[in-house]
Chains A and B, each alone.
Chain A
Amino acid sequence: MSVDKQTVKRVAHLARIAVSDDEAEALKGDLNAILGFVEQLNEVDVEGVEPMTSAVEAEMRMREDVVTDGGKTADIVHNAPSTRDGYFLVPKVVE
């Protein structure tokens, strides 16, 4: 499979990254090189193989269902570019 410039632009929009026409052209080449490289996976017989979902074979640990953390509003907004009264500020979303 290979991608064209329009597809690159569509995927960039899905990823919320603005790309110029020149960037899209360069990315098209890079993406096609990578997609060409991974194509060899089609040679592998994966019939009946369960996809790996975890690198460790360990049972998920359970803990008491209690609140263990919280009350950190100041910490949470500490690094935000724009805040007011413990809230994140963003450009207007709803008219």
Chain B
Amino acid sequence: MTDLTDLGIGAIRDGLAAREFSARELTDAYLEAMEATRALNAYVAETPERARAAADESDKRLAAGEARALEGVPIGVKDLFCTEGVHTQAASSILDAFRPTYESTVTANLWADGAVMLGKLNMDEFAMGSSNETSCYGPVVNPWRSADSNADLVPGGSSGGSAAAVAARLCAAAIGTDTGGSIRQPAAFTGTVGIKPTYGRCSRWGIVAFASSLDQAGPITRDVLDAAIMLKSMASVDPADTTSVDRPVPNYEAALERGVKGLRIGIPKEYRMDGMPAAIETVWQQGEAWLREAGATIEEITLPHTQYALPAYYIVAPAEASSNLARYDGVRYGLRAGDGDVTEMYEATRSAGFGKEVKRRVLIGTYVLSAGYYDAYYLRAQRVRALIKRDFDIVFDAGIDAILTPATPTAAFAVASMATASPIEMYLNDIFTVTANMSGHPGIAVPAALTDDGLPLGLQLIGKPFDEEMLFRVGRVLEDAAGHFTPKRWWS
């Protein structure tokens, strides 16, 4: 019998319907794999009892012929999503022992569709990071290793636990969030598929907020089909989030086989950066060739404000973060430190509870919003942001169907290798992904190749607002051409 953890969501659906195995057997297989793979540090909390109870319920539904869209599918959840009564700390000490009394809308949607929660996944603290090294639980180890070394590599971040867990078969699929690339970059580093939907497609209610005008939830999965199935369940309009959009959620699966014949694919010349590694250039050209062979037209396009997206992001995101993180005051939840007056208590609590990267960003945010600097920094950044969005609008109005770019400027790097680098070097990881957060457009990362060292590289597609169907459709053609990538199992 095949290992049940090798099955993606599509295969699970078929197998459960045909009674080849039960939801309980499937969940038990994952719980066993999780126990044997703790060395990767992907899960920060495991919920086996809840998982088994949900799987048993799924088996009852299946027996009664009442299976829902994700019946019995075992899912891992980024520690950023509030899950009622279950560990939720955004990988931060300041939320020590926090147990939400409510459920996020996205996770509630998944459970309503029959999905089974296996546990909470590691991440960068408050989703601030590109390597999953800022977590208060320590770094996640990428299941991929370079061909010539046993050194631990990072899985990317901030949804590093989600990406590592999917790549290592520790859940059938995972959910993450993406503020500057936090779904797409780790997906690219682990050979998995990750989509950041259009801003407003998924409700943000119950997701610990980082930068509210940029944050979006999305799935990380083994293939494009699974991403389409997951997003269908995750997306919804929500009265509790006024930025969630009231439009029907399409049946994304139906778009998968439409092909790319006659589509116009844009190649933005500004994404061809100085000093870009040859492997990245090669995979990008390979992607172009695959789409051309499948019948698409490839056109060079220009997005002139691309280079300003990352600096504008490092004003807007910290500014919003400094405001969102003001709530961690030692009064309402989590950690409290200090024994003096109330100000001393606030300062001691936030000093003890926040990690280095979070402090850095809160201070930058506080500075750029402080009296006298608001216009020069924040307002200017929001103007530049409008120009970045306008670049995309012009290209899509001219008839381009999707934009093809590399997902990341490099493959996964070694744990601790950036420890003494300037923060800017880490921020450059998001150079290709951050534009879509600034503009609100949807983006998907699809695994495309392995480097000479045997590490995965991804390609990114950016689409029109609310045209996730196009991303799945084009992504599927890339996937068909590139094949699937699975790490060697060295960890158990």
Contact = CB atoms under 8 A, between A and B. Distances in A.
Contacts of B465: 56
Given A17-B359, A41-B384, A88-B331, A75 B101 contact: yes
Contacts of B307: 40
Interface of A: 1, 3, 7-8, 11-19, 23, 27, 30-31, 33-35, 37-44, 46, 49-56, 58, 60-61, 63, 72, 75-76, 78-82, 88, 90-93
B109 interface: no
Given A16-B346, A55-B440, A63-B239, A38 B315 contact: yes
Interface in B380-436: 380-387, 389, 422-424, 427
Given A34-B364, A78-B99, A81-B335, A53 B382 contact: yes
20 contacts: A12-B363, A14-B370, A19-B359, A31-B360, A34-B424, A37-B311, A37-B427, A40-B311, A41-B311, A41-B315, A42-B380, A44-B384, A46-B383, A52-B383, A56-B243, A75-B102, A76-B332, A79-B99, A80-B331, A90-B331
Central interface residue in A7, A53, A58, A92, by most chain B CB within 10 Å: A58
A53 B385 CA distance: 9
Contacts of A54: 213, 243
A45 to B, nearest CB: 9
Given A15-B350, A33-B422, A78-B101, A40 B366 contact: no
A56 B305 contact: no
Interface in B220-277: 239, 242-243, 245-246
Contacts, number: 170
Given A52-B385, A56-B440, A90-B331, A30 B345 contact: no
B332 A80 contact: yes
A31 B362 CA distance: 11
B314 A56 contact: no
Is the contact region of chain B dominated by helix, strand, or loop, or is it mixed?
helix
Nearest to B377: A38
A56 B198 CA distance: 9
A54 B336 CA distance: 35
B209 interface: no
A38 to B, nearest CB: 4
B99 A15 contact: no
Nearest to A55: B440
B381 A41 contact: yes
Interface string B147-173: 000000000000000000000000000
